Amino acid sequence: MSYETILYEVSEGIATITINRPNVMNALNLQVLRDVLAAVDAARADDAVKVVVVTGAGKAFVAGADISLMKDFGTRDGLAFGDLGHRVMAALEGLDKPVIAAVNGFALGGGTELALGCDFVYASSKAKFGQPEVNLGIIPGFGGTQRLARSVGMNKARELIYTAEIIGADEAKRIGLVSDVFEPEELMAKVRDKAKLVAGKGLVAVAAAKRVMNKGVDLSLDAALELEKQAFCALFGSKDQKEGMAAFVEKRPPKFEGR
């Protein structure tokens, strides 16, 4: 499948989605969102894909939504744009495969929201994060008001959104938005190493863990624990569980099939 605004490649079980509008700092417009949504669908349908990495071309991850597009929006246009953005983030969260953000530069507005839609985030030391939408008279519209608070806590999320402050990679790591920070020239190699590590695990179990963690976070503790218990026992019907435990007993590396 061909894409207008992204690059999509699969290698060693890793699908890499690269936002490819470097001349405008990879700003998100309708076509970018449609292309990312299509790429997530392609990764979902491809059994060769074990892990997905999302990154940006050039000096930016995503420097925000395309303001030249949004400046003439009315409320209906805003609703359609916001709805498409929410569909993309929901697709990343709902994908039954791990998704890693490799933030190579500016991740502002929709860029921070795109990173938040991924399972975890690694950043270049030159990366910048922020939700500066109030500078434009709007608020985050692709899930930032909700996912940022769940990632860094309500008080810090309020501060970042109300002040429109831009923070560096080290501060993003300190507050829990970023898992680790690497030098720019090392970022993609480090991310691929981590992706390969995840890809070698029992991915039926990884998918179950992702589903339970995402759904359980908004439930009561009792309901979330019940969700975990049901997923835990269901995995004993998988081939991966049989292989993983047999390999452990036999002191050999497991050969998971993802079933």
Residue 94 CA to residue 215 CA, distance in Å, equals: 10
- Asked if residue 120 lies in contact with residue 133, where contact means CB atoms within 8 angstroms, the answer is no
- 203-249 maps to CATH 1.10.12.10: yes
SS3 for 129? strand
pLDDT in the model for residue 257? 85
Mean pLDDT by runs of 10 across the 259 residues of the chain is 93 97 96 97 96 96 91 94 96 96 97 97 98 96 96 97 98 97 97 96 93 93 95 94 93 89
Q: Is 133 a catalytic residue?
A: yes
Count of C-beta atoms within a 10 Å radius of residue 62: 29
pLDDT in the model for residue 39? 97
Count of C-beta atoms within a 10 Å radius of residue 116: 26
Residue 170 CA to residue 180 CA, distance in Å, equals: 8
What sign does the dihedral 215-84-158-106 (CA atoms) show? positive
Contacts of 3 (CB under 8 A, 6+ apart): 35, 38, 39
pLDDT in the model for residue 112? 98
Residue 157 CA to residue 130 CA, distance in Å, equals: 10
The residues of the chain that CATH labels 1.10.12.10 are 203-249
The residues of the chain that CATH labels 3.90.226.10 are 6-199
Q: Residues 12, 133, 183, 250: which is the catalytic one? A: 133
- Asked if residue 132 lies in contact with residue 144, where contact means CB atoms within 8 angstroms, the answer is no
Q: Residues 12, 113, 228, 257: which is the catalytic one? A: 113
What pairing do the DSSP bridges indicate for beta strands 6-11 and 14-19? Answer: antiparallel
- Asked if residue 60 lies in contact with residue 22, where contact means CB atoms within 8 angstroms, the answer is yes
Instruction: Name the pTM for this structure.
Output: 0.93
Query: Which one-letter DSSP state was computed for residue 168?
Result: E
Pick the CATH number of 6-199 from 3.90.1150.10, 3.90.226.10, 3.40.640.10, 3.30.70.120: 3.90.226.10
pLDDT in the model for residue 258? 84
CA 61 to chain centre: 12
pLDDT in the model for residue 259? 87
